[in-house]
Structure 1
Amino acid sequence: MLEVMDAESVRRWVVVTRAALAARRAEIDALNVFPVPDGDTGTNMYLTLDQALHATRTEQERLGEEGSPRLDAEVAAMSRAALMSARGNSGVILSQLVRGVSDVIAGEHLTVVDAPAVARAIAQGARRARESVVRPQEGTILTVADATAAAAEQAAREGGSLGELTVAAVTAAREALARTPEQLQVLADAGVVDAGGAGYLLFIEALDRVVHDKGPAQHFAVDDFTLNTTLERRADWSHDGGDRAPAVGYDRDGHDGPAYEVMYLLREVPEEGVLVLRRELDGLGDSVVVSGAEDLTHVHVHTDDIGGVLQAGLAHGAPDRVVVTLLDTTPATPQRGVSLVACAAGPGIAEVITQAGAVSVPSGPGHRASAGELVAAVREGGTEEVILLPNDRDTRMAADVAAQAAAQEGRTVHVIGSTTAVQGLAALAVFDPGLTVTQNVLAMTRTAAATRHGGVTVAVKSGLTSGGACEIGDVLGVVAGDITIVGSDMDEVAREVLDTITGTGAELVTVVVGEDAPDGLVERLTARVESQRVEVEVIDGGQPHYPLLFGVE
């Protein structure tokens, strides 16, 4: 059993957590409280951590590190990578848990981590996670993290060993997870525990296994983790996640700009010094990113003036691990004006977004866009100001992270609160290049909020909904994000959804057709709506899981 954790054991903690999420993500996805096929909490957490590990390794290779990096530097790099790799709200919250660990290890310049430090790291992660949510809800991952932190801190105060602390933390996490249905009625109705809390339990169980030195990571079996969901496990609920996304970096295709990429590290730069350095570098090049922990600052800039960039760093310390790379092509300096970025759940939706003059980002259940992918799309727009439409409730937090990251490059990103594809398409339709950015943001926000929306899908598991109990294969009618209709006939359910959201005063109904829509259904619905003297626009969206999406203006 370990008495303290060094860089290798902390690294193993992250790797073992990723392995556990990879093995159990389908089960965590299945904990989604509604029986619709877009619950991907486990997948988002897994992809966030997997791509953060990949990005951290890539960054270390690009910096030309020899041997293993210091613990504090590695954890700080992992924290940054996790934030940029974050997918979905659960991925963003996971990145904040990692950030809490980094706050303690990097912030305190630790080379090893003992029991009190682990307790502080767990507690700081819980605080960071709660701070990231605008309206915290009990009975979620936040509650499980708080209970775990309290148990860890108590064990540390009582002088417990590292092994005793992790056992107490795991016990508290399991008990808190089991209580989540008592705190959140929707979980009790569905007969499940919180999905995010289940993912967090794996995070803590992995820590316990590493501390108790239960063997190399590659020997850890799925059954070694005690997550119990009491759910039927279905292989077809698993998502393979597609190809690995590229490491967090800079898109160099199709742009003209400075000839060199310069990177280096500085140590012990105060926050005011970071702000001064960022301004100085902004005058020497573009794609400026100056970020890091309290004691370690990572500098990145594209420039033609290598000497000037190094001189700027020398004013704050001795640049370390300097890397200069000749760029064939680099991102262009942001130009005046505004561009549009929008997420698309299907190829047809992407085509409409592109025709509207926006940059389209693939994003949907099972593989939602990461913060890094959204930043890359913002860069592709090439302008100082960007309007970003996430078009999905579970991508909003990643969009906000992307906006914060883009601000470091001199770009202002305005995130529209579009939670569905039809709201995003309606907002795009009112964009007017002749108006100011503020006027467009207001108009698009109002339009998105005013667009009544619904959809039709098929249940992938049994459950209790606002429309009553459902079984696998039932047709579900979704109105304003809530399942209010359960039936067996898609025509009938679709008509009921449309009747509910159309109401009086409707002028335009938008129908976005998914890849699984039955033949003839759209024609029958269109004829019915047009008979009520309401205009209908049909878009071949090609989105999976939802045969029909509706928007009413």
Structure 2
Amino acid sequence: MRPAATKMASVLDGQLWKQMMVSGAKALELKKHDVDALNVFPVPDGDTGTNMFLTIQSAARDAEKISSQSIGEVAAAASMGSLMGARGNSGVILSQLLRGIAKGLEGLQTANSLQVAQALQAGVDTAYKAVMKPVEGTILTVSKETARAALAAAKSGGSLLETLQEAQEKGFKSLAKTPDMLPVLKQAGVVDAGGQGFLVILGGWISALTGETLTSDTISDGESSPEQHIHKSVELKQEEFLQVESLDYPYCTEFLVKGTDLRVEQMKQDLLDRGDCLLVVGTPEVVKIHVHVKNPGKILDYAIQWGSLHEVQIHNMLEQNENMAHAMKEKTSENPSQPLKEFGVVAVAMGQGIADVFISLGADEVVFGGQTMNPSTEDLAAAVRKVPAKQVFILPNNGNIVMAARQVKDVVSERQVHVIPSKSIPQGISALLSFNSEGDAEGNIQTMERGLSGVCSGEVTYAVRDSQYGDLTISDGDLLGLVEDVIVTTGKSLHEVAQSTLDKMEWKTHDLVTIFYGEDTKLEEVERLQDWLREENPSVEVEVHPGRQPLYYYIFGVE
């Protein structure tokens, strides 16, 4: 049991809730990479912590804009901010928790410990209702047990601080049990990432109440956190955190290092604290580094100690964002009186080549995103608003984006929004090919959703850690083949893993194989795979497109 809390604020008002939201966001900013590392698959798309951080950060920023001291009004603003900023399934569930909390605090000027506990319970109820098939052993379970403990503590006369501390303690116990509820967590040797992220935020709320300086070391991880942590000591500076609208690491820096005895893991650890979105992969002879930094020169100076530098690319993302914003402004200013057509389509794509395909097939707007870069509800809503149509279909094309897409209906009132739950790029393309601009909405929904079931999706990527998945023993850096998001094969040769993945998809019994090759896939590898397909079964049509997607060497569609 933790020591009794010092009696501090007896009630929660709007000002204190703002501080708690900021503190919760800062706590997760410090721990987001630890939460990302809890991904059950060893593939390079662990982004739960990042998605939840961007969601809570958006909530905190909107809360800060409210001058009222009313807890109800500030909570409502935070809820709307989280709704607009929600990214990924974990971010959407977090936004629903905050939405329910706001409902529980609606109309209140201040809230005592019991009212706060009841609001937490309202948040859990709202989150469960928002998920079509709630799964225990996830953030839902952890938040449910947390709310129950909060209610019990508050009803026993606990102060606001004591109530949240008891809730967190119970939450960590619940988190530790998540591997027993979900076999996939036990097999991967991790606890639920969403649950961990929620408890990190709760820890930030507690720090705001105690006035404790927020650092990586002072944020409680419970007994079930990863053994290795990123240790930083960053004091919470509320104004600086919320008012900076520019990117902290504006230069996207990417290059190859060639040498002998290159130590990938050591390079990764050395660069861990020097930027964001770090990717270090390769062999003892060639290592690829991708990182967002403040000063690219320092990264290059470090890397050149290991060997020679090749294919150095540095992009100013601030300039790219400004250019994109300017282009969007010009686009929306064109033909302002353009009449609305009946239907339009918004698609999500994870590479320029894939985006080009969607545009060629009739999509009106493409939102860039996918693995590791889930677009927010606000991003999708902005795209919907740009489509000159009365009704807009959204193709999320990723299972982790579907929930955020469904929330667009809650924030866009000037368009009728329909979400076709495509969970892969091939599914999205199949659905779009089924779209009939001359048909009606219900008919299109039915035919597009039928189109999803007519295609099998596969991918080839790489492992980011050692792991055991079913009967497969996976080593860091191994190539992985996935079919419908399930790892089915692994190996060292890209060609062999691609062949094995396609065989698992039973491609020879179908009519068409579509291949999108990634930005890191060599053309000779693509041609070699094409030749093999034609030799094995020349009757199957093969389409090849430069998808230019990151992280995934191939995306396959078989139908």
- Is TM (by shorter chain) over 0.5? yes
1:193 maps to a residue whose letter is: V
Count of aligned positions:
462
CA offset at residue 491 of structure 1? 1.0
**Aligned match of 2:285:** none
Deviations 1:86-142 (A, max 9, x none): 11111111111111221122x2x2222211111112111111111111111111001
Give the stretch that moved more between structures: 515-524 or 67-76. Answer: 67-76
CA offset at residue 439 of structure 1? 3.0
In 1, the alpha carbon distance for the partners of 2:13 and 2:336 equals: 38
CA offset at residue 71 of structure 1? 2.9
The residue correspondences of 1:498-513 to structure 2 (distance < 5 A) are 498-513=502-517
In 2, the alpha carbon distance for the partners of 1:132 and 1:252 equals: 34
1:130 maps to a residue whose letter is: Y
CA offset at residue 404 of structure 1? 3.4
CA offset at residue 183 of structure 1? 1.0
1:364 maps to a residue whose letter is: G
CA contact (8 A) 1:43 1:239 kept: no
The DSSP-based 3-state class of the residue aligned with 2:134 is coil
CA contact (8 A) 2:396 2:420 kept: yes
Report whether the alignment pairs 1:8 with 2:15: yes
In 1, the alpha carbon distance for the partners of 2:355 and 2:61 equals: 28
CA contact (8 A) 2:397 2:422 kept: yes
**Aligned match of 1:304:** none
The residue correspondences of 1:364-443 to structure 2 (distance < 5 A) are 364-406=370-412, 408-409=413-414, 411-443=415-447
Aligned with residue 222 of structure 1, among 188, 212, 216: 216
CA contact (8 A) 2:34 2:226 kept: no
Aligned with residue 136 of structure 1, among 134, 137, 153: 134
CA contact (8 A) 2:349 2:368 kept: yes
CA offset at residue 70 of structure 1? 3.3
- CA gap of 1:186–1:437, structure 2 versus 1, over 3 A, is same
Aligned with residue 151 of structure 2, among 143, 153, 158: 153
CA contact (8 A) 2:13 2:69 kept: no
- CA gap of 1:163–1:404, structure 2 versus 1, over 3 A, is closer
The residue correspondences of 1:521-532 to structure 2 (distance < 5 A) are 521-531=525-535, 532=537
In 1, the alpha carbon distance for the partners of 2:102 and 2:73 equals: 9
**Aligned match of 2:283:** none
The DSSP-based 3-state class of the residue aligned with 1:393 is coil
CA contact (8 A) 1:346 1:541 kept: yes
Give the stretch that moved more between structures: 180-189 or 361-370. Answer: 361-370
**Aligned match of 1:99:** 99
In 2, the alpha carbon distance for the partners of 1:71 and 1:253 equals: 40
**Aligned match of 1:494:** 498
Give the stretch that moved more between structures: 129-138 or 186-195. Answer: 129-138
CA contact (8 A) 1:344 1:362 kept: yes
Unaligned runs of 5+ in 2: 1-7, 230-267, 279-291, 293-316, 323-327
CA contact (8 A) 1:20 1:206 kept: yes
Q: CA RMSD in A?
A: 2.4
Give the stretch that moved more between structures: 512-521 or 490-499. Answer: 512-521
Unaligned runs of 5+ in 1: 61-66, 257-328
CA contact (8 A) 1:252 1:331 kept: no
Report whether the alignment pairs 1:517 with 2:517: no
- CA gap of 1:57–1:253, structure 2 versus 1, over 3 A, is farther
**Aligned match of 2:554:** 548
CA offset at residue 254 of structure 1? 4.3
Report 1 or 2 for greater relative contact order, CA contacts < 8 Å, sequence distance ≥ 6.
Answer: 1
In 2, the alpha carbon distance for the partners of 1:383 and 1:33 equals: 40
Aligned with residue 472 of structure 2, among 468, 474, 478: 468
CA offset at residue 450 of structure 1? 1.4
- CA gap of 1:213–1:371, structure 2 versus 1, over 3 A, is same
**Aligned match of 2:460:** 456
Report whether the alignment pairs 1:477 with 2:475: no
CA contact (8 A) 2:349 2:370 kept: yes
**Aligned match of 1:171:** 169
- CA gap of 1:254–1:479, structure 2 versus 1, over 3 A, is closer
Deviations 1:222-250 (A, max 9, x none): 1111215225456678538976999xxxx
**Aligned match of 1:239:** 277
Deviations 1:42-83 (A, max 9, x none): 11111112233334556x5xxxxxx54533222212211211
**Aligned match of 1:335:** 340
In 1, the alpha carbon distance for the partners of 2:339 and 2:36 equals: 39
1:529 maps to a residue whose letter is: L
CA offset at residue 366 of structure 1? 2.7
CA offset at residue 190 of structure 1? 0.5
**Aligned match of 1:110:** 108
In 2, the alpha carbon distance for the partners of 1:28 and 1:51 equals: 19
The DSSP-based 3-state class of the residue aligned with 1:461 is coil
- CA gap of 1:205–1:437, structure 2 versus 1, over 3 A, is same
CA contact (8 A) 2:14 2:73 kept: no
> How many percent identity over aligned positions?
37
The DSSP-based 3-state class of the residue aligned with 1:224 is coil
CA contact (8 A) 1:239 1:366 kept: no
CA contact (8 A) 2:488 2:504 kept: no
1:369 maps to a residue whose letter is: P
1:352 maps to a residue whose letter is: V
In 1, the alpha carbon distance for the partners of 2:321 and 2:209 equals: 31
CA contact (8 A) 2:456 2:484 kept: yes
CA contact (8 A) 1:255 1:332 kept: no
- CA gap of 1:194–1:528, structure 2 versus 1, over 3 A, is same
